[in-house]
Structure 1
Amino acid sequence: MAGRKQRQWVKPQAQPNSEINVTPLVDVVLVLLIIFMVVTPLLEKDIVVRVPDTEVDQEPTPPDPNDQQLVVQLDKDGGYSINTEKIAPADYVTRLKRMLAAKKADDKVVFFMADDATNYGRLITALDGAKTAGAKVLGMATELPQNAIIQGTSVDTPTPPPAPTP
């Protein structure tokens, strides 16, 4: 037998396998499922909301006159009005200083409402005067608030335009 060569038998090549091996896919999906099942309860946090207690029978208290907003109006002729009261330009800063002195430090807010035809320099002078008087925050109002009274006319009851004369 020594002279006899050993023959190695080689299997003929088989057809390629065209099926997808899903075993690794199933393993990965199951691992991800387990991870999500463990992590999801940890992600759910309670949101603490503090809700104020309400009393139904309590009537609202009237606002303190010192808590009213200060609105400075400038007309096209250069006149000043604080809320509804006309003020001379010379008395503007002193009057505003007295009104702001009655307010708390955080409530020293002055809103400005200027006519479209107002001189820009007069508006800047009014803003500087309010800062000199002690205003902490300056605001510009473009529209009147509801129920505002400006120079004796109420905003929520608009007057119809006059009829044209022929």
Structure 2
Amino acid sequence: MQVQGKKPYNEINITPLVDLTFVLLIIFILLTTAAVQGIKVDLPSASASQSLNEPKSRVIAVANDGTVSIDAVPVSMAELEGELRTSIASEPETAVILRGDRAVQYDQIMQVLDLCSKVGVASLGMASTRPPGEG
């Protein structure tokens, strides 16, 4: 007995595989861009700001909970000093960009500034702030 209207498949339908591939690609793109952003710091706004365009620079961020990081890697103050000394030894003209959250205690920023002075950082700048209309 044979069922009428049913034929065996001769081809494989790849449409679901293409859909899955696009979904995986979109997920990969979103996760990669989210991981590159680094540490979130709420910068204060200013009416005029200049950007520091040094080829060799290190970014030190101080989060509102007091966490200090260099190039998005959390470090202690002793580790920060070691990293800065290594950078200055290899490239004496290394610029340091300090990013401080607007809610961080002034004492924590001063500790980082004193450390940079102690190590002998030649060029120190504050991170560019957000434009005045942005919160």
Question: Alignment length, in residue pairs?
Answer: 76
Give the structure 2 partner of residue 85 of structure 1: 73
Give the structure 1 partner of residue 119 of structure 2: 133
Give the structure 1 partner of residue 63 of structure 2: 75
Give TM-score scaled by structure 1 length. Answer: 0.42
User: For the pair shown, which has the larger CA radius of gyration, 1 or 2?
Assistant: 1
5+ residue gaps, structure 1, are 1-66, 145-166
Q: Higher helix share goes to which structure?
A: 2
Paired residue type of 1:88 = S
5+ residue gaps, structure 2, are 1-54, 131-135
Q: Does the 8 Å CA contact 1:79/1:89 hold for their aligned counterparts?
A: no
Cα distance in 2, alignment partners of residues 68 and 101 from structure 1: 13
- Per-residue CA deviations over 1:55-108 (Å, capped at 9, x if unaligned) read xxxxxxxxxxxx5311100011211111121112232212211122111x3x23
Alignment of 1:140-151 (within 5 A): 140-143=126-129
Identity of aligned residues (%): 25
Give TM-score scaled by structure 2 length. Answer: 0.51
Secondary structure, aligned partner of 2:124: strand
Secondary structure, aligned partner of 1:73: strand
Give the structure 1 partner of residue 26 of structure 2: none
Secondary structure, aligned partner of 1:76: coil
> CA RMSD of the aligned region, Å?
1.7
Paired residue type of 2:85 = K
Structure 1 stretches of 4+ moved >4 Å: none
Give the structure 2 partner of residue 10 of structure 1: none
